[in-house]
């Protein structure tokens, strides 16, 4: 059985803990490899290695670091097809979608290569008599990233790209469900000129994560995954005196106003709800048509489109979406569909029991559509993380605005309308971190920041963009007076600023 290795100090390292987890090919429904689950000692070795690399990498000038990052981008692009195939085979998303996963990560590394500009400090001359003040941003040291299965390239690149550009060294603990791409990315970083140990990859479960949280040499934790784990890691990091940004689950709504282009809204919903089998933190899982006539028309348009959808193998060009990641995910999603029926929602399209010719054991769940879902139902409140779209009809705009605003999660939201006033009011008042106007999945580009509100994000700084640089650096402020400055003798009062 193939073993996906750790990647430490510039080489592939076999696991020694004796604990392994199966990695599946979700199209075949078969075990394709095994991934080692690290012991505390193995995690400590990875941290040692990154600690040693820190001295060299943090003192390499920022522009040279940027050049290494740009070379890394080149190598990722040169190996794009291989990486995307590997990603599809372990995750189940289609090949073009896997390329998109990698590309959105690469864009953040490109942005991070501009770190010399972003790391510049502040300077004030003559802040007092003969006194100058300046501030600088310094790397934290060794930092850790703990990332989810659903974007095995993008999210590691978001975190490592910015952290490395700022001069930190990085220990990545990727999802154990699709661990191969992160290892290849680290290999390519080495090939690009990153010193050994600058980017280490250690696989594992709670044991590895706890070791990272508890080790005093780890100075920051960047996490993305489900909300309960995000919250517990955030609390654990605080307990161990380290900064953390922990992003969690989602229940993203899309409001469709009566004046919207309904054909366009229906097309947008199809991709946003069923693309990547709904396994995106920015997937739309709740559609909120305003008014009965809008809802009835939208349902008609969605049904027509769902009939034409192709569920199929990830590497098959005709597939609109592929299988879900695992048997447990398939069971969880199908169980939620049953719960929705029991709760009284109207099941218009049932994706349970979907099959694909030639792949009888694949983890297939077909597109599912519920109508007349209400806020008290579990299928409305909880994250299903599969190809299940719930329609929650709203009587008017105010009700449609309240639904995402009052939901426990607050990752992304969209409004489809032709009316600028309505769009402006919505973007101003809605209690959600990322908002799209006629854009169903408003994932901010690299030079803006990404982060949800409420149970979707714990911590005060978002990912990538300038927030990312702030998160991965600490500010030092230097107040200077040279001997030729004013000589006042000893002073026993607090000096004033002016």
Interface residues for ligand NAD in 396-455 (CB under 6 A)? 411, 452
Residue number with CB closer to ligand NAD (262 or 325): 325
Which residue, among 186, 225, 206, 237, has the nearest Cα to 37 in the 3D structure? 206
Rounded Cα distance, 15 and 232, in Å: 27
Active site residue 281: yes
How far is residue 99's CA from residue 77's CA, in Å, rounded to a whole number? Answer: 10
Minimum distance from CB of 143 to ligand NAD (Å)?
15
Which residues on neighbouring strands pair with residue 45, listed in sequence order?
A: none
Among the listed ranges 247-255, 336-344, 416-424, 485-493, the one in contact with ligand NAD (CB under 6 A) is 247-255
43: left (phi over 0), alpha (psi -120 to 50) or beta: alpha
Comparing CB distances to ligand NAD, the nearer of 146 and 265 is 146
How many Cα atoms occupy the beta-carbon half-sphere of 101 within 13 Å?
31
Please answer whether residues 379 and 46 qualify as being in contact, where contact means their C-beta atoms are separated by less than 8 angstroms: no
Q: Under 8 Å CB-to-CB from 35, ≥6 apart: which residues? A: 3, 4, 15, 20, 21, 23, 176, 179, 203
The Cα 386–Cα 337 span in angstroms is 10
Rounded least distance, CB 182 to ligand NAD, Å? 10
H/E stretch holding 110 reads: helix 95-112
| Residues 109-168, interacting with ligand NAD (CB under 6 A) | 146-151
Per CB under 6 A, the segment of 22-30, 132-140, 189-197, 222-230 that binds ligand NAD is 222-230
- Which residue from 88, 456, 462, 473 is in contact with ligand NAD, where contact means CB under 6 A? 456
> Which residue in the block uniquely carries the two structure tokens 């078969």?
30
For ligand NAD, what does the binding mask look like between residues 187 and 206, x meaning CB under 6 A?
------------------xx
Nearest approach, Cβ of 441 to ligand NAD (angstroms)?
12
Cα–Cα dist 155/389, whole Å:
25
Of the pair 132, 214, the CB lying nearest ligand NAD is at 214
Nearer of residues 56 and 206 to ligand NAD, judged by Cβ: 206
DSSP letter, residue 449: -
Among 7, 363, 364, 385, binds ligand NAD (CB under 6 A): 385
Question: Based on CB atoms, which residue is closest to ligand NAD, 65 or 407?
Answer: 407
The C-alpha atoms of residue 150 and residue 445 are separated, in whole angstroms, by 18
**Considering only residues 144, 281, 400, 432, which one is a binding residue for ligand NAD as defined by CB under 6 A?**
281
**Catalytically annotated residue among 237, 281, 324, 455:** 281
Rounded CA gap, 273 and 322, in Å? Answer: 13
In angstroms and rounded to an integer, the radius of gyration of the C-alpha atoms of the chain is 25
User: Residue 238 has what DSSP assignment?
Assistant: H
Q: Which one of 30-38, 56-64, 131-139, 172-180 is the stretch in contact with ligand NAD (CB under 6 A)?
A: 172-180
Nearest to 246 by CA among 473, 471, 475: 471
Q: Which residue of this chain has its Cβ atom nearest to ligand NAD in the complex?
A: 225
Hunting for tokens 């049932």 — which residue is that?
350
Q: Which of 42, 97, 101, 176 lies at the binding interface for ligand NAD (CB under 6 A)? A: 176
Find the binder of ligand NAD among 170, 247, 336, 370 (CB under 6 A). Answer: 247
CB nearer to ligand NAD: give 189 or 434. Answer: 434
- Residues marked active site are found at 281
Interface ranges with ligand NAD (CB under 6 A): 146-151, 173, 175-176, 205-206, 209, 224-226, 229, 247-250, 281, 383, 385, 411, 452, 456
């Amino acid at each position: 059985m193939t073993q996906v290795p750790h990647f430490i100090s510039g080489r592939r390292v076999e696991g020694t803990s004796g604990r392994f987890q199966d990695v599946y090919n979700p199209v075949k429904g078969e075990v394709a490899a095994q991934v080692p689950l690290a012991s505390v000692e193995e995690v400590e070795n990875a941290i040692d290695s990154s600690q040693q690399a820190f001295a060299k990498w943090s003192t390499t000038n920022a522009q040279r670091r940027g050049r290494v990052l740009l070379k890394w981008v080149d190598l990722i692009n040169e190996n794009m097809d291989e990486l995307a195939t590997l990603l599809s085979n372990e995750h189940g998303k289609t090949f073009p979608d896997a390329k998109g996963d990698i590309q959105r990560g690469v864009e953040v590394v490109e942005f991070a290569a501009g770190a010399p500009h972003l790391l510049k400090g502040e300077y004030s001359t003559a802040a007092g008599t003969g006194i100058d003040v300046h501030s600088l941003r310094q790397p934290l040291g060794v930092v850790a990233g703990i990332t989810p299965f659903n974007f095995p390239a993008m999210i590691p690149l978001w975190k490592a790209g910015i952290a490395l550009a700022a001069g930190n060294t990085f220990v990545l603990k990727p999802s154990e469900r699709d661990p191969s791409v992160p290892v290849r990315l680290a290999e390519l970083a080495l090939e690009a000129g990153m010193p050994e140990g600058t980017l280490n990859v250690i696989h594992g479960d709670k044991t590895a994560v706890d070791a990272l949280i508890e080790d005093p040499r780890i100075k920051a934790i960047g996490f993305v995954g489900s909300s309960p784990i995000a919250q517990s890691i955030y609390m654990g990091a605080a307990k161990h005196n380290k900064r953390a940004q922990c992003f969690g689950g989602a229940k993203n709504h899309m409001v469709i106003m009566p004046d919207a282009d309904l054909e366009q809204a229906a097309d947008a919903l199809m991709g946003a709800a069923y693309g990547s089998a709904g396994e995106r933190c920015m997937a739309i899982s709740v559609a909120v048509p305003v008014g009965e006539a809008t809802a009835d028309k939208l349902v008609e348009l969605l049904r027509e489109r769902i009939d034409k959808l192709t569920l199929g193998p990830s590497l098959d060009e005709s597939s609109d979406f592929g299988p879900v990641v695992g048997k447990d995910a398939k069971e969880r999603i199908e169980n939620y569909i049953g719960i929705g029926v029991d709760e009284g929602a109207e099941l218009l399209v049932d994706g349970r029991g979907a099959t694909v010719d030639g792949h009888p054991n694949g983890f297939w769940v077909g597109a599912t559509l519920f109508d007349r879902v209400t806020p008290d139902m579990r299928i409305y409140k909880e994250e299903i993380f599969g190809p299940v779209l719930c329609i929650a009809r709203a009587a008017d705009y105010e009700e449609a605005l309240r639904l995402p605003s009052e939901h426990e999660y607050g990752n992304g939201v969209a409004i489809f309308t032709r009316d600028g006033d309505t769009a402006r009011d919505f973007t101003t008042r809605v209690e959600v971190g990322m908002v799209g106007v006629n854009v169903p999945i408003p994932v901010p580009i690299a030079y803006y920041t990404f982060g949800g509100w409420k149970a979707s994000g714990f911590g005060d700084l978002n990912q990538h963009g300038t927030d990312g640089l702030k998160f991965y650096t600490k500010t030092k402020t230097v107040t200077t007076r040279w001997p030729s400055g004013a000589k006042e003798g000893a002073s026993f009062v607090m000096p004033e600023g002016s």
